[in-house]
Structure 1
Amino acid sequence: MRETVRWRNAVFAVFFAMGFGFASLAARFPTARDALDISVDQLGLALLGISIGSIAGLSTASHVVARLGTRAVVSVGVVVVGVGLAIAGWGVEARSMAVLVVGLVVTGLANGITDVAMNLSGAANERALAKPIMPIFHAFFSFGTVAGAGFGALGEATGLGMGPQMTIVLVAIGALSVVVRPRLVEQPIQPEDHVGFRERLSVWTDARTWLIGGLVLGMALTEGSANDWLALLMVDGHDFDPVGAALAFALFLTAMTAGRLAGVPLIERFGRVAMLRATGALAAVGLVLVIVVDDQVVALVGTALWGLGASLGFPIGMSAAADDARMATARVGAVATIGYVAFLAGPPMLGFLGEHLGLRDAMWVVLAFVLLSLATSAVAREPRTASGAPDPAAEVRP
């Protein structure tokens, strides 16, 4: 049990580091836009780099993890994410769009592979603990994003350059990788039965994979649109200054974190589907407030509801994807790939709409995807035993 707890804490730390790194960069996107003297849609195209890298990483992740193991992939992957962030930060310092895009592609590639590996490690850990704690792992990602947004706001307020700031992030993530590597349990999710290359690919022909993917796609865009555009939306759409916009982003992340921490007992009490529907409704209301009401206080209330609403969709989707433990590696990779299409199409799509309609009106598209997730939420229902009761063994799978 002690080893399992150390393993759990190591996965907590990895999720935290991944959130901290990206949010440190995302909180300063307004500064990056101004430094590079680019438009909103040009920034969206730059962010396409991280999306392309993520899709490439996710599409190969199950095969990489099957060959190298979760420990190696996670411990090396987080460091490569930090390297990509540092390259992106120094690209802004050098006023070079090309260097920024290279850094974002490297970040996305490493993030895609590491994301699957850390979710698999977390899924296996929750099985070992016999408790559905996946939302808490994702809460630690949110803790990291809150801290990262705060670090970004601090950098903005003190005038710290994005290059030095992202270098600090790289050093911190590198140190964390050294500490957590021996505490991660190797390849825990993979059962003794070998799942070959062809069998891993077969999950793409399963309708349930696509339905869960649609759920995750909608909630990924709900969360990702805020990560990419909320700070700039608050500057351009609600007349916040850059520091205030960074703090609004921190509010979103704080609300999302609170939702994930509260998620475990609520899911145990009400079930996955009820919680998906409740949080999806909160996200819809929050988005409408941010889009429609021209008031800074109401915009902040809407931001908080948006954050709460985005809190459980992705972790519940990962749990549902791994209900069949034998095919968990392949299906989690497939569902994550479908979900990350939101990060591929989202930045340029919302950037284009934001440039021509304004970012507030661009968020109507995000609302439509929230409704998509609500429509497919039943697919995440917990497996049942022959007696009709929830299967405890299945519930603790990711």
Structure 2
Amino acid sequence: MPSLKNNIYAVTLLFIFNGCLFGSWAAKVPFFKQSFGLDEQTLSIFLLLLALGAVVSFPLAGKLSDKLGVQAVSKLAYVLYPIPFISLALSSNSIALAVSLFCFGFLHGAMDVVMNSWAAKTESLSNRKLMPFFHAMFSLGAGIGAAGAVLFIWAGASTLMHFVIVSALFVPFYMLFHQSGLITLVAASTQASSATSHATLPKVFLVSIGLIAMSCALGEGAIADWSAVIMRQAFATDMSFAAWAYAVFSIFMVLARLLGHVFIEKCGVSQTVRGCALFSLVGVLIIILVQSPALALVGFALMGIGYSVVVPLVFSKAASINEHKSGVAIAFVAAFAYGGMLCGPVVIGVLAHHTSLKEALYLLAILPVYIFITAYLLSPKYRIS
């Protein structure tokens, strides 16, 4: 029986690593937009290439994980992920940037699949809800990446130096885990799961909660890629201040995820989700209506709280439907979550091109309404008939 603690350490590293590289990229989007002279619509097309790379990677990463195991594929993704990340900074023209973004999205999506699969298997070894914690580690990594971008900008470092240093910082952790044997096989009940692989899952219910995840993830994806641009364009801030938008969003998200269990225990799942929906609604309205950059940061903080525990709770609910088919159920709703995460930046970009960035954000004020109305579906007391 492998050590549960070892698996938690390994999965935590993957979530922090993935979040840090993605957060570093997100904070530097205005730099790439300015350097390559991209308008909102053109930037949306480039972001779509990143999304397309991730979508292409999903089935391939799933097949490799089944054949080689999530641990082997995770280590491979860990080694390869920094390559397209650094190549972004090396891009000298639009074609090179497009190829780098596609490859970066491919490795980001592949790591998303394998690390969430590993997280689900690890959670199955425990009697605790670990998914919110792991997602908190992604947010922590993203916040560290975005905040680190601020420091590199203040120091006057080039984007290439920035991305190389961030990637290099994770090399010792890989060597430590690899040499100490922390990355061990997860003894999850995959045989029991495959024995009931033909069991029927309630697809209508999964679609309903999948849309909750999509509504949340769409906003999260939009903020990841557009927050710094919004601060630069709508509030006329400099690049270092603009980078704080995603940093504040991520920091408050990780704090809310780490403290989420307290509110879940006191208020219940449904009320916690409804509260999150209200936080995200108020946050986006502040960003739309105010003129002060400082107040806008408050809006991003509230949105970070609002988007914090919803998707992890959707994953937990999906996994609880059928313990032998938990992986299949999680994969089903994860497709909605990742679809929202990847489509969010593109949708906001297209809307902004035809209206304005602030007006495009009204979409993010509509989505919390669905989350608020359907929050009861995530309650452990709700039974699927």
Same fold by TM-score greater than 0.5: yes
Find the counterpart in structure 2 of residue 45 from structure 1: 45
Identity %: 26
Code of the residue aligned with 1:107 in structure 2: it is: F
Find the counterpart in structure 1 of residue 211 from structure 2: 214
Code of the residue aligned with 1:48 in structure 2: it is: L
Residues 1-398 of structure 1 aligned to structure 2 (within 5 Å)? 3-91=3-91, 94=92, 96-181=93-178, 182-193=181-192, 195=194, 199=198, 206-323=203-320, 324-382=322-380
Retained in 2: the 8 A contact 1:80–1:107?
Answer: no
Structure 2 gap segments, 5+ residues each: none
3-state DSSP class of the match of 1:192?
helix
Q: Aligned in 2, Cα 1:178/1:271: closer, same or farther, shift over 3 Å? A: farther
3-state DSSP class of the match of 1:340?
helix
Q: Once the 2 structures are TM-superposed, how far is the Cα of residue 288 of structure 1 from its aligned partner?
A: 0.5
Q: Aligned in 2, Cα 1:348/1:126: closer, same or farther, shift over 3 Å? A: closer
Retained in 1: the 8 A contact 2:177–2:183?
Answer: yes
Q: Once the 2 structures are TM-superposed, how far is the Cα of residue 174 of structure 1 from its aligned partner?
A: 4.3
What root-mean-square deviation, in Å, do the aligned CA atoms of Structure 1 and Structure 2 show? Answer: 2.4
Q: Aligned in 2, Cα 1:132/1:252: closer, same or farther, shift over 3 Å? A: same
Q: Aligned in 2, Cα 1:322/1:198: closer, same or farther, shift over 3 Å? A: closer
TM value normalised by structure 1? 0.88
Q: Once the 2 structures are TM-superposed, how far is the Cα of residue 51 of structure 1 from its aligned partner?
A: 1.0
Distance 1:272 1:245 in 2: 34
Q: How many residues align?
A: 380
* CA deviation string 1:12-65 (max 9, x = no partner): 121111110111111011111111111122111111122112222234444332
Retained in 1: the 8 A contact 2:221–2:342?
Answer: no
Distance 1:170 1:325 in 2: 37
Code of the residue aligned with 1:365 in structure 2: it is: L
Code of the residue aligned with 1:67 in structure 2: it is: K
Q: Once the 2 structures are TM-superposed, how far is the Cα of residue 170 of structure 1 from its aligned partner?
A: 3.0
Distance 2:99 2:155 in 1: 27
* More displaced stretch, 256-265 vs 189-198: 189-198
Q: Aligned in 2, Cα 1:232/1:188: closer, same or farther, shift over 3 Å? A: farther
Distance 1:372 1:59 in 2: 29
Distance 2:137 2:270 in 1: 23
Q: Aligned in 2, Cα 1:46/1:190: closer, same or farther, shift over 3 Å? A: farther
Retained in 2: the 8 A contact 1:74–1:117?
Answer: yes
Code of the residue aligned with 1:183 in structure 2: it is: L
Structure 1 gap segments, 5+ residues each: 386-398
TM value normalised by structure 2? 0.91
* More displaced stretch, 126-135 vs 217-226: 126-135
3-state DSSP class of the match of 2:191?
coil
Distance 1:60 1:215 in 2: 26
Q: Once the 2 structures are TM-superposed, how far is the Cα of residue 236 of structure 1 from its aligned partner?
A: 0.7
Code of the residue aligned with 1:132 in structure 2: it is: K
Q: Once the 2 structures are TM-superposed, how far is the Cα of residue 187 of structure 1 from its aligned partner?
A: 4.2
3-state DSSP class of the match of 1:218?
helix
* More displaced stretch, 219-228 vs 176-185: 176-185
Code of the residue aligned with 2:64 in structure 1: it is: V
Retained in 2: the 8 A contact 1:79–1:173?
Answer: no
Distance 1:29 1:159 in 2: 17
